[in-house]
Amino acid sequence: MHSKEGSDISSADVMGSTINERGYHSASMDNGDKFTVEFQGTTKANKDGSAVMNGKWRFVSGTGKLKGIKGSGIYKGTGSADGTGNVDVQGEYSMPAMKAGK
């Protein structure tokens, strides 16, 4: 399966150049199954408009073949003043054992 599309809902507290964010990312797979992860992290903005971010995430739900998915990890990223950026997401997940006949 491959991720087809996704969306985020989040809130953030801003104190000076530090942003503390928490929220949820939901994605649909190409077969129609869906998953949701919860995330929380910190972004530090620099005077030149660039930023560095890092945080944690964990699966909170899944549907279809992803039902019962468990896992978590971290993310780290950088952002540029022009609004572009890169994020590296790492982690591990496990699926429940399939029942015989399924």
User: What digits encode the pLDDT tens for the residues 66-100?
Assistant: 999 999 999 999 999 998 999 999 999 999 876 65
pLDDT at residue 46 in the model: 94
Domain residue spans of the chain? 3-88
- 43 forms beta bridges with 19, 53
pLDDT digits (tens, 9 = 90+) for 4-58: 899 999 999 999 999 999 999 999 999 999 999 999 999 999 999 999 999 999 9
Give residue 2's pLDDT band: very low, low, confident or very high (50, 70, 90). confident
Q: How many Å is the Cα radius of gyration of the chain? A: 16
